[in-house]
């Protein structure tokens, strides 16, 4: 994967190497997928597992970039957003001479399905909260609330890895899922211990990663949000449907501009930033 700079108002665009096919990173281009967020151009071209990269771009306040891939999926790296954010910071960013557009939430919108809920509320800034419930004794109920500023994503969310339960791994692989999963790119949870050497990066890493996923998915709105998000046992599909519900109601949102930071196009390196994983 290579990240290229892009002019203002380009947005985040995925491009398959060796092809003219492009897919704008927008909620309207998402398709149903059980474990990740997948984008499609409606012509058979798809890009999967975009949520961790989208979270890194949102956390770095990057509005415009061309993301070139030689495969159908964003590299999983270590299962978090930290490698993407680190390399973006190493490359540097360019501030662009254009106002940064945001989406302001004007009234409450919500979706509830299969015992899960995702909600957006009006707010002056941007905050997120999330609650999870698992039968596994190492997870159980976890709840987190974060107010976002310039450093919140890097310090509080970026290193939280995707996770899976050991007793579900065989079932997922039999269904053709999680075949590339390993202790190098996910937290694997047994009944009484975490299998990864070094354990957890945060005491509540599980709920933080669910919040990270939602943060990346919300950036598919087409820009940063001004409002508050609450997720309870929700996943990618709920966040996608929440955005669809929001934009279906023209009285629920409006565009506004942010005084800072300005538009940013990543990276500053003219030849782009290259990322790869096995």
Between 51-59 and 82-91, two packed helices, what is the crossing angle to 10 degrees? 40
Q: Dihedral through CA 145, CA 147, CA 149, CA 154, nearest 10?
A: 0
| Residues 250 and 103: beta-carbon distance below 8 Å | no
Q: In this structure, are residues 64 and 10 in contact, taking their beta carbons and an 8 Å threshold?
A: yes
CA distances from 86 to 77, 147, 150, 163, 190 (A): 12, 22, 15, 21, 30
What is the Cα–Cα distance from 79 to 161, expressed in whole angstroms? 5
DSSP state letter for 160? P
Q: Which of 4, 52, 209, 236 is catalytic?
A: 236
d(CA 26, CA 30): 7
Active site residue 236: yes
Nearest to 88 by CA among 210, 211, 5: 5
Catalytic positions: 236
């Amino acid at each position: 994967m290579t990240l290229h700079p892009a002019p203002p108002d380009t947005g985040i665009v995925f491009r398959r190497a060796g092809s003219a096919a492009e897919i704008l990173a927008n909620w309207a281009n998402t398709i149903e997928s059980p474990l990740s967020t997948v984008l499609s151009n409606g012509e058979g071209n798809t890009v999967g597992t975009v949520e961790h990269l989208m979270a890194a771009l949102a956390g770095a306040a990057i509005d415009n970039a061309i993301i070139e891939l030689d495969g159908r999926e964003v590299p999983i790296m270590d299962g978090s957003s930290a490698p993407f954010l680190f390399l973006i910071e190493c490359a540097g960013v360019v501030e662009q001479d254009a106002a940064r557009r945001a989406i302001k939430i004007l009234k409450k919108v919500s979706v509830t399905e299969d015992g899960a809920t995702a909600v957006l509320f009006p707010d002056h800034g941007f905050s997120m909260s999330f609650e999870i419930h698992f039968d596994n004794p190492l997870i159980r109920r976890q709840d987190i609330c974060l107010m976002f500023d310039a450093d919140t994503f890097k310090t509080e969310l970026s290193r939280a890895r995707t996770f899976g339960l050991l007793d579900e791994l065989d079932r997922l692989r039999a269904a053709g899922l999680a075949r590339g999963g390993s202790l190098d790119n996910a937290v694997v949870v047994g009944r009484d211990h975490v299998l990864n050497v070094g354990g957890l990066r945060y005491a509540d890493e599980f709920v933080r990663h669910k919040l990270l996923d939602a943060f990346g998915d919300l950036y598919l709105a087409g820009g940063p949000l001004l409002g508050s998000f609450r997720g309870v046992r929700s996943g990618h599909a709920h966040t996608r449907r929440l955005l669809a519900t929001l934009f279906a109601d023209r009285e629920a949102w409006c565009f506004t501009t942010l005084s800072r930071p300005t538009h940013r196009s990543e990276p500053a390196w003219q030849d782009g930033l290259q990322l790869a994983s096995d």
